[in-house]
Amino acid sequence: MSRLALITGGSSGIGLALSKKLAERGYDLAWVSLDEAELAQAKADLMVDHEDLRIETLALDLSSPDAARRVFQWANGLSGDGVELLVNNAGLGVYGDSAGLSIEAEQLMIDVNIKALHALTRTFLPSIEERGGTIINVASNSAFVPTPRLAVYAATKAFVHHYSTALQQELSGSGSPVRVMTVCPSAVSDTPFKERAAMDRVRTFSSFTATTADEVAYDIVVGLDRGSDRVITGAAMRRAMWLMRFAPQSLIQWLTRRETGQI
């Protein structure tokens, strides 16, 4: 049986770093991203070190209402065995006070980070149940705390965390062969995300808890091997999260406002 990993946002940042690790494990790759030229360039770069690797690409705006159906049809045409690993990684952030951002900019985050992830998860679930496999949904450590200046972004990631965790519990309770893994990266310093989100004032990117895309990808494949339901990336962030269990909510909220440059 062929092993196909479908990774949204596979041509950039965390998705690209994870793609390299999956290629080393023998997966064929299917990428869905927005920018066709970036897809072609990332594919050419990755194939320099992996000559025999199969990478299929689809340039598609995941915020469009029928995106999940189109991705599913495309992926089915790639392999008779279907997708073994679905990685819902594509996402975007926009920095600033909610009242100062356009409604459209905020709704785009909801469309990509929530609606597309949910639709892809639901659309692929029956076929992954048939063959067995894993769905990896990329949330963020901002899923855990209401985050001023990233109010909608953090709320979209809270959705990803809650939905994916509850779905995993439902599936394991019903004996399903599908695992849903939620990934909560701390700030990742070396992907285009920070610039794209205009997060210059966010301190977390230079904090001791910051990670790199390679570290996130490493933690994800370790989580896959262990069968983890949730992966918090970066050893320093995992220690910080453990300590935060003993901290009052008011301190956590103050630290969050400080990290995001609100105070």
Ligand X SMILES: NC(=O)c1ccc[n+]([C@@H]2O[C@H](COP(=O)([O-])OP(=O)(O)OC[C@H]3O[C@@H](n4cnc5c(N)ncnc54)[C@H](OP(=O)(O)O)[C@@H]3O)[C@@H](O)[C@H]2O)c1
Binding site for ligand X (CB under 6 A): 9, 11-15, 33-35, 38, 61-63, 89-93, 112, 138, 140, 185, 187-188, 191-193, 196
Question: Min. distance of Cβ 84 from ligand X in angstroms?
Answer: 21
**Count of Cβ atoms closer than 10 Å to residue 133 Cβ:** 21
Q: How far is the CB of 213 from ligand X (least distance, A)?
A: 6
Q: In this complex, which beta carbon is closest to ligand X, that of residue 59 or of residue 171?
A: 59
Q: Minimum distance between the CB of residue 149 and ligand X, rounded to whole angstroms?
A: 14
Residues 6+ apart with CB under 8 A from 56: 28, 29, 30, 31, 78
Using a 10 angstrom Cβ sphere, with 0-12 exposed, 13-18 middle and 19 or more buried, the burial of residue 73 is exposed
Nearest CB to ligand X, comparing residues 28 and 111? 111
Least distance between ligand X and beta carbon 151 (Å): 15
Three-class DSSP labels, 232-259: ECCHHHHHHHHHHCCCCHHHHHHHHHHH
**CB of 132 or CB of 192, closer to ligand X:** 192
Q: How far is the CB of 173 from ligand X (least distance, A)?
A: 27
Whether 178 and 225 have beta carbons less than 8 Å apart is answered as no
Q: Of 11 and 123, which CB lies nearer to ligand X in the complex structure?
A: 11
Nearest to 60 by CA among 52, 47, 48, 69: 69
Measured from the CB of residue 27, what is the shortest distance to ligand X in angstroms? 18
Report residue 60 as tokens: 């598609």
CB of 198 to ligand X, least distance (A): 12
Nearer to ligand X, 167 or 232 (CB): 232
Instruction: Rank residues 176 and 203 by Cβ distance to ligand X and give the closer one.
Output: 203
Q: Which is nearer to ligand X, 9 or 96 (CB)?
A: 9
